[in-house]
Chain A
Amino acid sequence: MRTKVLVLKADGTNRDEEMAYAFKIAGGDSKIVHVNQLRDGSVKLKDYQILALPGGFAYGDDIVSGKILAIELTSFFKEELQKFIERKNTAILGVCNGFQVLVRTGLLPFREIGKMRVSLTNNDSGHFECRWIKVKVNNKNNSQFLKGMDNEIIWLPIAHGEGKFIADEEILKEIEDQNLVAFRYVDENGNPTMEYPENPNGSLNSIVGITDTTGRILGMMPHPECFVRREQHPNWRRDKVKVDGLPLFENIVKFVKNEL
């Protein structure tokens, strides 16, 4: 049986189709579900193995990005989400706006639904930014999603205005101590960087994305779902290009299938 992937959509979500496509070619059975379908009970989270929160501007990113959807999820689905993450072999991926929602629900980094510990805030540049950047996979992170990507430097596109990862010192230390950082922005030489535009938003510790302590919830600002075939890279005509986004989806699908 193909793994069932729920791609969650709300008003203003806009990268749902790419996300569904990426999971599909990675072997998943994706369904785009509007949050209202969860609310009216016509679709149930328990019937799925993977919950994917795609990019976009859920509810216009009013107040701050991802806030309104996060409140909706924590108000109505606290228990269901709790059950979902407690089930074995489930996975959650939040990309861009989805990452913003995950941190605002408290699912990331410490699986505390309703407790926000870290934030994604306005880029230091003060504006939205769309470009391709290089990130390095943190080999200390044990998440199965990153299997086979140790220390790799990969290309991914970013497109966001609120991607600066912040947390107070203690929390940041905890995240580092527990090796929850999944990727960091790196410069030409592969070293973590705080320089614009390689670090496009000024994220602390060059953090691109993090996992929870179990490694089964991953949130990240760049869009792996928009790099699942070679031609999506701007330089596939001049460089040898490896499709860097797809392995993540394949890993997630294999993980929930217990094939990793």
Chain B
Amino acid sequence: MIQKIRVQTIVGPDLKGNGILNDIRRLGIKNITRVSAIKVYRLEGVSEKEAKILAEKLLSESINQRYTMNSTSEESESTSEVKPVTIEIGYKSGVMNPEVASITKAASDLGIKLLACDSSFEYAFYGNLKKEEVEKIIEKLKLYNPLIEHIVKDEPRTLILKGQPGKTETISIRSLNDQELLDLSKDRLFLNLEEMRKIQEYFVKEKRDPTDLEIETLAQTWSEHSGHKTFKAELLVDGKKKEPLIVRIKKEALKYNKNIVSAFEDNSGVMDFYDGFGICGKVETHNAPSAIEPYGGAMTGSGGVFRDIAATGKGAKNIASTDIFCFAPIYLPASQLPAGCLPPEYLLKRVVSGVRDYGNRMGIPTNNGSVHFHERFRARPTVIVGAYGIVPKKYAIKDKPEINDLIICAGGRTGRDGIHGATFSSGEMTADTYTIHSSAVQIGNAIEEKRMFDALLEARDQDLIRLVQDCGGGGFSSAIGEIGETLGVTVDIKNAPLKYQGLAPWEIFLSESQERMIVVLDPKNLKAFEGICRKYNVESTVLGKFDGSKKLKVYFGKEIVGNLDMKFLHYGLPRRVLQAKQPAHLRGARVTSEVAGGSLRGGPQNEKEWIEVLEKVLSHGNVCSKEPIVRLYDHSVQGTNDLQPYSGKNLDGPNDSPVLRPVLSKQYGMVISHGLNPVLNNIDPYRGSIWAATEALSNFVAVGGDYKNASLINNYIWPFPDQESLWSLDRSVDAVVDFMKIFKIPVISGKDSLSSTYRGADGSVIKIPPTLCISVLGKIEDTRKTVTADLKKVGSTIVLVGEMDKNLGGSVYHQVNNLEIGSVPRIDLKLLPKTFDAIYKGIRNGQILSCHDVSEGGVISTIFEMCVGGNCGVNIHLGGVTSSHLRGDRMGSSEVSGLLFNETAGCFIVEVKDEKVAKQLFKNIPYITLGKTQKAPVIDVKNFFSAEVPNLKKVWQKPMKEMFS
């Protein structure tokens, strides 16, 4: 029998209930007066007496809660109000509820053995309503995700999951014709006809048909997600043959190997640090899962990228996490949302919650990120998660496995969750994506991952490990397939611990259940390794060993369920030849406005217009303050942060990049930054990509980083690579290669996600703006030689450093004025290294008091943010400007707006003591003295306008404050 305990908080606000009520109000529904939330526990296999002990000692606290046992909701509600409508929401059977393990453990500590248990929430809705109405409201609110949760309608009779192992099936591929091959592939394998034929050929030669496990293993290994087919393809760009994208990137990168420890070989790229350490970085996207289950998607995205760090070499320690999101504008009218896509507001909130709940629990500081908006991200959101780590260099490279080495699975158990994740994410988004691919959703349990990492690091430090491989996309099939490539392996997946019975062997092999790692050990280290795992409550199991067969041999007990040649698995995939073609709309330049800002009737005409447009820019999603999001993330854990996301008088001035001291007792540090601009990338993939890379490196330099000690990570988030999208991808890769050439620094890691196209049933197609995200990691000798962006002193001189291009195409200024004209800013790459050097030197010798790079929102937004931090103002006088195309003495409103809203990356606003210092620091590069800082928190631009910083600040903070409070 199941004992049901309901726990209600009776002292203090009902936060969950009130939160839901707020959301209901926002929907404009007024007839619900109150919502209360009640936690429900179901305990199986214990007596009522035992359940009572658990209720009192474990499940409720008498100070502020009360509990009831085995009562219906009606009995326990003793208020005089009208009976509420109650609805209980729980996890679907088979979906892991992370709380269950803790309840079972604590009960056992109290001497009570549970057979099974579960927890859920019951919501009571007060007001004059019918149940059906409430159900409709819940659906509108998206209070639960039907992929993983359900409304509990009947009392469950048992919570114990039973099942018989599924059977392995043979697929008669040899007899299929082309159409039948395609039918087999559709919605399951995501392979094209040529690839399907290759598989058919292989099995014809083998004189047998494949098992479901084999065909699924091939499909996942050959998926775009794992196989990177586009990046490896031969290209014909407008008829001209070009080397594969990945070849071009690698070739250029490996020329600059001064700091490289390992690049493109492992789960993350590693660069040299100090004292025998390396630092590593990996940036991933988790777009497809986040599109259908944003909370779980973001969680498992974080979990996955942390595992990439933990599975670098013999294991690195995670020290930072970054999060970068792109959504459709928050207030996108529902009518513009394609069928099967979730609204951006919901996506943003849920993604932020997922990142928060995973990163915080892992104890990994999340200290860098950004949010971008563009209406075409309604096709599919972009969720970019990055992780950074530190590893002693002696453990930074994996050992080569030897014959008889053991293959161990450590960490979480295997369930049905996440099956087809790798293949699914390689597919496009359709109206059916939401329903058909629900099994691709993975659920995260950060604590499982945290204790596994603790155990692995201890095992690494005892030198027990040959290598660690992450079970990411493709699960065992991918991890084991990869590590076994040279020698060959035999595994028995019947040994894999399961969350519940009933999985077919292919499901076990392909499952993307989270928090699992494959570890390779010399057999003599097994006992010691298992001891460490026990210490940390980590389950570890021997799955098999390296056997020298050059085959992937998979058993399920005695039955052989897979036997593939490693060579075919890894090299059988035919290399594609792909055509790229310049899209017509990108042929020839866009209409360029002759005078920057000139098309705007000559710019704002009076102070009121100036302030109006400034407020529009500052409240734009890409510019507004993201502080309410950042405060939800733990950015202080590990105690390493020597340059925090926000600083200044009121701790609300944003900074460019975090500076970390990963070894607490040492002064050296690590700087992390990133840059992207989907809007510019969309207009001009080459210049937009240069802008993104420049922005990323400028953020790095703005805090005091030396670009010569930086490494890059490139992520391409693109629509499906049809000929036109492939053309822009090719241009973007060219930009990255050129960027490396200029700065002589390498890309050391990267990833592509080429499926962000939406296809509607009505034939409508939406492509996201192609997005290059460049992340930067680098080392710095002394974290004390860094600066923040907040203005430090009254009366210091404010200088704009760097060459400003006159183009404003794609700027936020243009966006808020609904202008679609003009070119993307062209960045003077020859000059840029000199600018970076000057800034670096000025910061190192303490002459630059504060620094902030120019980015979205332009020069004036940069200055404004510095004023927020300094809680002060600036007095800008453009009379002295004598740059090539800007003559201060003759500047009218259009020229001034063209300067103040200019977004040329690679330019900086710096605070120095006086003009003399500026002259000395920037003698070889263009700079403009803009004015002086003043105590009054006012931005004065002489002859044009005067704006109160506190008023602007309100406008700038409002959008995210509204969203997250």
Q: Chain A interface (Cβ within 8 Å of chain B)?
A: 9, 11-12, 14-15, 17-18, 21, 25, 34, 36-37, 55-57, 59-60, 62-64, 67-68, 71-72, 75-76, 116-119, 121-122, 124-132, 157, 159, 164, 166-168, 223, 225-226, 228, 231-232, 234-235, 237-238
Q: How far is the CB of A42 from chain B (nearest CB, A)?
A: 9
| Cβ-based interface call for B593 (8 A) | no
Q: Chain B interface (Cβ within 8 Å of chain A)?
A: 9, 11-13, 15-16, 18-19, 57-59, 61-64, 98-99, 102-103, 105-106, 109-111, 356, 360-363, 445-447, 450-451, 454, 534-537, 630-639, 641-642, 644, 646-649, 651, 661, 664-665, 783-784, 787-788, 790, 792, 964-965
From known contacts A71-B110, A159-B634, infer whether A226 and B639 are also in contact, taking CB-CB under 8 Å: yes
Which residues of the other chain, B, contact A17 by a CB distance below 8 angstroms?
A: 638, 664
Which residues of the other chain, B, contact A167 by a CB distance below 8 angstroms?
A: 63
From known contacts A15-B363, A21-B664, A57-B360, infer whether A116 and B110 are also in contact, taking CB-CB under 8 Å: no
Check A166 against B641 for contact (C-beta < 8 Å).
no
Which residues of the other chain, B, contact A164 by a CB distance below 8 angstroms?
A: 12
Check B535 against A34 for contact (C-beta < 8 Å).
yes
Contact of A63 among B103, B637, B642 (CB under 8 A): B103
B659: nearest chain-A partner, CB-CB: A231
Which residues of the other chain, B, contact A15 by a CB distance below 8 angstroms?
A: 363, 637-639
Check B63 against A56 for contact (C-beta < 8 Å).
no
From known contacts A18-B664, A131-B651, infer whether A157 and B636 are also in contact, taking CB-CB under 8 Å: yes
Contact of B110 among A75, A124, A159, A225 (CB under 8 A): A75
From known contacts A75-B109, A122-B15, A130-B635, infer whether A232 and B99 are also in contact, taking CB-CB under 8 Å: no
Check B360 against A128 for contact (C-beta < 8 Å).
yes
B360: nearest chain-A partner, CB-CB: A128
A158: nearest chain-B partner, CB-CB: B636
A131: nearest chain-B partner, CB-CB: B631
Cα distance A187–B99 in the bound complex, in angstroms: 38
Contact of A60 among B11, B445, B783, B965 (CB under 8 A): B445
Check A37 against B535 for contact (C-beta < 8 Å).
yes
Check B537 against A116 for contact (C-beta < 8 Å).
no
Contact of A231 among B111, B637, B661 (CB under 8 A): B661
Cα distance A12–B102 in the bound complex, in angstroms: 12
Check A67 against B639 for contact (C-beta < 8 Å).
no
Cα distance A106–B57 in the bound complex, in angstroms: 12
Which residues of the other chain, A, contact B363 by a CB distance below 8 angstroms?
A: 14-15, 56
Contact of B647 among A63, A157, A237 (CB under 8 A): A237
Contact of A130 among B634, B642, B649 (CB under 8 A): B634
Which residues of the other chain, B, contact A131 by a CB distance below 8 angstroms?
A: 631, 651
Cα distance A166–B637 in the bound complex, in angstroms: 25
Check B636 against A62 for contact (C-beta < 8 Å).
no
List, sorted by A's number, 28 A–B pairs whose CB atoms are closer than 8 Å: A9-B454, A11-B450, A17-B638, A17-B664, A18-B638, A36-B534, A36-B535, A36-B537, A60-B361, A62-B98, A68-B106, A71-B109, A72-B109, A75-B110, A122-B12, A124-B13, A126-B16, A128-B634, A130-B631, A159-B360, A167-B63, A226-B637, A232-B641, A232-B642, A234-B646, A234-B788, A235-B647, A238-B790
Cα distance A131–B447 in the bound complex, in angstroms: 23
Check A63 against B12 for contact (C-beta < 8 Å).
no
Cα distance A9–B651 in the bound complex, in angstroms: 32
Which residues of the other chain, B, contact A159 by a CB distance below 8 angstroms?
A: 360, 634, 636-637
Given contacts A14-B361, A60-B102, A234-B644, 10 further A-B contacts (CB under 8 A): A12-B451, A14-B363, A15-B363, A37-B535, A57-B447, A72-B109, A119-B63, A125-B965, A157-B636, A232-B641
Cα distance A235–B98 in the bound complex, in angstroms: 39
Which residues of the other chain, B, contact A168 by a CB distance below 8 angstroms?
A: 63
Total A-B residue pairs with C-beta atoms closer than 8 Å?
166
Check A116 against B109 for contact (C-beta < 8 Å).
no
Which residues of the other chain, A, contact B12 by a CB distance below 8 angstroms?
A: 121-122, 124, 164, 166
Which residues of the other chain, B, contact A68 by a CB distance below 8 angstroms?
A: 102, 105-106, 109
B964: nearest chain-A partner, CB-CB: A127
Check A59 against B447 for contact (C-beta < 8 Å).
yes
Check B360 against A12 for contact (C-beta < 8 Å).
no
Cα distance A130–B635 in the bound complex, in angstroms: 7
Q: How far is the CB of B335 from chain A (nearest CB, A)?
A: 31
Which residues of the other chain, B, contact A127 by a CB distance below 8 angstroms?
A: 632, 964
Q: How far is the CB of B537 from chain A (nearest CB, A)?
A: 5
Check B792 against A11 for contact (C-beta < 8 Å).
no
Check B446 against A71 for contact (C-beta < 8 Å).
no
Check A238 against B536 for contact (C-beta < 8 Å).
no
Q: How far is the CB of A231 from chain B (nearest CB, A)?
A: 4
Which residues of the other chain, B, contact A72 by a CB distance below 8 angstroms?
A: 105-106, 109
Q: How far is the CB of A202 from chain B (nearest CB, A)?
A: 8
A62: nearest chain-B partner, CB-CB: B102
Which residues of the other chain, B, contact A129 by a CB distance below 8 angstroms?
A: 631-632
Cα distance A18–B136 in the bound complex, in angstroms: 49
From known contacts A21-B665, A59-B447, A60-B447, infer whether A130 and B633 are also in contact, taking CB-CB under 8 Å: yes
Which residues of the other chain, A, contact B642 by a CB distance below 8 angstroms?
A: 231-232
Cα distance A233–B796 in the bound complex, in angstroms: 24
Contact of A11 among B58, B64, B537 (CB under 8 A): B537
Q: How far is the CB of B20 from chain A (nearest CB, A)?
A: 11
Cα distance A17–B649 in the bound complex, in angstroms: 30
Which residues of the other chain, A, contact B11 by a CB distance below 8 angstroms?
A: 166
B628: nearest chain-A partner, CB-CB: A127
Cα distance A226–B99 in the bound complex, in angstroms: 29
Cα distance A131–B652 in the bound complex, in angstroms: 10
Q: How far is the CB of B648 from chain A (nearest CB, A)?
A: 7
Which residues of the other chain, B, contact A124 by a CB distance below 8 angstroms?
A: 12-13, 15
Q: How far is the CB of A159 from chain B (nearest CB, A)?
A: 5
Cα distance A118–B105 in the bound complex, in angstroms: 24
Q: How far is the CB of A131 from chain B (nearest CB, A)?
A: 6
Which residues of the other chain, A, contact B99 by a CB distance below 8 angstroms?
A: 60, 62-63
Check B447 against A11 for contact (C-beta < 8 Å).
yes
From known contacts A60-B447, A159-B634, A226-B636, infer whether A14 and B63 are also in contact, taking CB-CB under 8 Å: no
Cα distance A21–B534 in the bound complex, in angstroms: 26
Check A235 against B651 for contact (C-beta < 8 Å).
yes
Name the residue in B18, B57, B102 with the highest tally of chain A Cβ atoms < 10 Å from its Cβ.
Answer: B102
Contact of A71 among B106, B451, B646 (CB under 8 A): B106
Which residues of the other chain, B, contact A56 by a CB distance below 8 angstroms?
A: 363
Q: How far is the CB of A189 from chain B (nearest CB, A)?
A: 15
Cα distance A18–B445 in the bound complex, in angstroms: 24
Which residues of the other chain, A, contact B447 by a CB distance below 8 angstroms?
A: 11-12, 57, 59-60
Name the residue in B634, B636, B648 with the highest tally of chain A Cβ atoms < 10 Å from its Cβ.
Answer: B636
Which residues of the other chain, B, contact A130 by a CB distance below 8 angstroms?
A: 630-636
Check B61 against A235 for contact (C-beta < 8 Å).
no
Cα distance A71–B107 in the bound complex, in angstroms: 9
Q: How far is the CB of A125 from chain B (nearest CB, A)?
A: 7
Which residues of the other chain, B, contact A60 by a CB distance below 8 angstroms?
A: 98-99, 102, 361, 445-447
Which residues of the other chain, A, contact B661 by a CB distance below 8 angstroms?
A: 231
Cα distance A226–B363 in the bound complex, in angstroms: 13
Check A234 against B651 for contact (C-beta < 8 Å).
yes
Check B648 against A238 for contact (C-beta < 8 Å).
yes
B642: nearest chain-A partner, CB-CB: A231
Check A67 against B790 for contact (C-beta < 8 Å).
no
Cα distance A130–B646 in the bound complex, in angstroms: 11
Check A237 against B787 for contact (C-beta < 8 Å).
yes
Which residues of the other chain, A, contact B664 by a CB distance below 8 angstroms?
A: 17-18, 21
Q: How far is the CB of A147 from chain B (nearest CB, A)?
A: 24
Q: How far is the CB of A216 from chain B (nearest CB, A)?
A: 24
Cα distance A82–B21 in the bound complex, in angstroms: 46
Check A228 against B639 for contact (C-beta < 8 Å).
yes
B787: nearest chain-A partner, CB-CB: A237
B646: nearest chain-A partner, CB-CB: A234
Which residues of the other chain, B, contact A126 by a CB distance below 8 angstroms?
A: 15-16, 18-19
Nearest first, the 8 closest Cβ-Cβ pairs linking A and B are A14-B363, A62-B102, A18-B639, A234-B644, A226-B639, A126-B15, A234-B647, A60-B447
Cα distance A25–B665 in the bound complex, in angstroms: 9
Q: How far is the CB of A32 from chain B (nearest CB, A)?
A: 10
Contact of A237 among B9, B18, B57, B788 (CB under 8 A): B788
